[in-house]
Amino acid sequence: MQSSLKKSLYLGLAALSFAGVAAVSTTASAKSYATAGAYSTLKTDATKRNVEATGTNALYTKPGTVKGAKVVASKATMAKLASSKKSADYFRAYGVKTTNRGSVYYRVVSMDGKYRGYIYGGKSDTAFAGGIKSAETTTTATNPTKTTGYYLKDASKNTLWTAPKYTQYKASKVSLYGAKSDDTFTVSKAATKTREGSLYYYVTDDNNSSIAGWIYAGKGYDATITDSTKQDLGGLSLSASDAAATENNSVKINYIAKNGNTVATSTFVTKENGTKAGQSAATTTNNNGKTLAEVAKANVPSGYTLTADPVVTTNAVYGGTLNVDVYKSATSTITFWTKAAGVSAGTEIKTSEFVNGKPAITTTQAKSLTGDVTEDAPSLDGFFTAPIQSVTKTATDSMSVQKSDADKTAVTITKGAEYHVLYTYDPDASAAANKGAKKGDALKAVFAQVNVQGKATASTDDSGTTSNY
């Protein structure tokens, strides 16, 4: 009987277990999904439908609660896109579906086209919420003080766009057909890409108003920079670009160093049409009105100086070359040092220690610091003939000092008394410190020093002197 009871219990438990599984299976198969209503295309201004992910919802192939919806971009991925610093990770909303539960799902695509799908957008089809929010992909910037006289730096590389790239869906390049290399452009608007912060100008071709669009503008026009070649304007320039160089319209410029090596090259391209190889290029000009000689002079490689101004004769022809002699140049700096027993220089004296700051020298002396790096640096004798006072100091204890700058009599001052240091240029110590120095080397001006009673006296530098060295 006990055996029969056990068998009955076993069979009963088995039956219960089977029933439980059946119940779970029935419950699972009965899971309900939402159904989505008809798809509607959004009709509002497309530029007003730029959105960014909030990172709270994933992107699906269908509204997320509809049967068969698959993940296109996970919630984690959308969170990364939400914090992205790239405009390519913005989205454009272009369609909508509403489920029978009242949930709104927007159809969106990323600006670079990488992600496309449905994302939960709240309970209203007239406002973005949930997984997306409205985005201002650009921010209005101030127009430059100079709005006219711009050129395209290189039309093959720096083109115009219908909108700064990725700030609008399918922003595209503007056709430059018909634009000439010497066409000027006018700036009418400026904006920055909100995420990257890069600056763009909206420009229009002065000769053809149909050629207009946005172009990267670098740091933008800076009115404080007087040398136009130093302006950082991205794809724009303040000088016209030349046509493509050919043997019929250009001259190659070789910059030749003292050892005979070519250290750099440049190219002159005439603005004239119909020129031929072998014709003289001596008197024609480029798109900016510069002659061959002027172009050669303007494009000397950094760190080099012309041996003499370029001389262009009728032998300079299209398809040929112009050799220009240059030398490597550099400018020596001067630092200030105390004289120390047994050595040419002891401790460096900061110019802030001098009562007048950095000592002035003549403009001629300043020019002598620059030159051919193979040349000897100038002697500093004669640069600092007058003694130089330090700033006023306060004695921290009793000390023996010189009575005045002129009177070398020793006197004692007490703690708290004022004094200054008098520095006198030492030619022998300076010569030893700068032995073998060439143009471009750092030079040391060495000074003997003595403590002098009383305040330092500030003075005004004489005319014809400079501290710019």
pLDDT of residue 23: 36
Q: Is the pLDDT of residue 342 over 80?
A: no
Mean pLDDT of 254-282: 95
Same domain, 343 and 406: yes
Q: Is the pLDDT of residue 201 over 60?
A: yes
Q: Is the pLDDT of residue 12 over 90?
A: no
44-48, 171-175, 412-416, 461-465: range with lowest mean pLDDT: 461-465
15 or 299, which is more confident: 299
> Are the CB atoms for 165 and 179 separated by under 8 Å?
no
Same domain, 307 and 283: yes
Residue 176 lies in a domain: yes
Cross-strand partners of 361 = 466
- Condensed to tens digits (0 to 9), the pLDDT of residues 426-448 reads 999 999 999 999 999 999 999 99
pLDDT of residue 305: 94
Residue 11 lies in a domain: no
pLDDT of residue 375: 94
**Full-model pTM:** 0.62
Q: How many structural domains are present in the chain?
A: 4
The label of the residue with tokens 């009963």 reads 12
Please give the sequence-ordered ranges of beta strands (E in DSSP) within 282-407, or none if there are none.
Answer: 304-306, 321-331, 334-338, 348-349, 361-362, 370-372, 388-389, 393-394, 399-402
Same domain, 168 and 215: yes
Binning pLDDT at 50, 70 and 90, where does residue 26 land? very low
Distance CA 137, CA 36 (A): 31
Q: Is the pLDDT of residue 92 over 90?
A: yes
Same domain, 55 and 168: no
Q: Is the pLDDT of residue 373 over 70?
A: yes
Residue 198 lies in a domain: yes
Tokens of 338: 């105390």
pLDDT of residue 460: 64
* Per-position DSSP letters for 347-368, written without gaps between them: SEEPGGGBTTSSPPEEHHHHHT
pLDDT of residue 243: 84
134, 165, 188 - which closes a domain:
134
Distances (CA, A) of 191 to 139, 201, 233, 237, 276: 5, 7, 14, 18, 45
Residue 209 lies in a domain: yes
Tokens of 373: 């790096």
Average of per-residue pLDDT values in the chain:
91
198, 221, 241 - which closes a domain:
241
Angle 258-259-264 (CA atoms, 0-180°, nearest 5)?
Answer: 75
> Are the CB atoms for 96 and 42 separated by under 8 Å?
yes
Distance CA 434, CA 379 (A): 8
Q: Is the pLDDT of residue 160 over 70?
A: yes
Residue 9 lies in a domain: no
Q: Which domain holds residue 164?
A: 137-241
Kindly provide the b/e burial profile for residues 422-455, where b requires at least 16 CB atoms within 10 angstroms of the residue's own CB.
bbebbeebbeebbeebebbeebbbbbebebbbbe
Radius of gyration of the chain measured on its C-alpha atoms: 39
Same domain, 364 and 437: yes
Q: Is the pLDDT of residue 6 over 90?
A: no
223-232, 338-347, 391-400: range with lowest mean pLDDT: 338-347
pLDDT of residue 20: 42
Nearest to 185 by CA among 166, 154, 170, 207: 207
- Condensed to tens digits (0 to 9), the pLDDT of residues 27-77 reads 334 468 999 999 999 999 999 999 999 999 999 999 999 999 999 999 999
Same domain, 193 and 209: yes
Q: Is the pLDDT of residue 5 over 70?
A: no
Mean pLDDT of 400-413: 96
Same domain, 112 and 142: no
Binning pLDDT at 50, 70 and 90, where does residue 464 land? confident
Same domain, 258 and 228: no
Same domain, 308 and 353: no
Same domain, 348 and 429: yes
Nearest to 275 by CA among 294, 292, 293: 292
Q: Is the pLDDT of residue 1 over 60?
A: no
Give φ, ψ of 397 to 5 degrees. Answer: -165, 175
Q: Provide CB contacts within 8 A for 331, sequence distance 6+.
A: 369, 370, 439, 440, 469
* Helix, coil or strand: residue 173: strand
Q: In CATH, what number is assigned to the domain containing residue 154?
A: 2.30.30
> Are the CB atoms for 294 and 287 separated by under 8 Å?
no
Q: Is the pLDDT of residue 14 over 50?
A: no
Distance CA 136, CA 85 (A): 13
Mean pLDDT of 110-127: 96
* Per-position DSSP letters for 416-438, written without gaps between them: T-EEEEEEEE-HHHHHHHTTT-B
Residue 169 lies in a domain: yes
pLDDT of residue 463: 62
Query: Which strands, in side-by-side order, build the sheet including 199-205?
Result: 138-140, 185-193, 199-205, 208-216
Q: Is the pLDDT of residue 348 over 90?
A: yes
Same domain, 409 and 455: yes
2-11, 124-133, 211-220, 356-365: range with lowest mean pLDDT: 2-11
206, 241, 276 - which closes a domain:
241
**Helix or strand (DSSP H, E) at 413:** strand 410-413
Same domain, 161 and 112: no
Tokens of 66: 């509809």
Residue 12 lies in a domain: no
Residue 353 lies in a domain: yes
Distance CA 102, CA 123 (A): 6
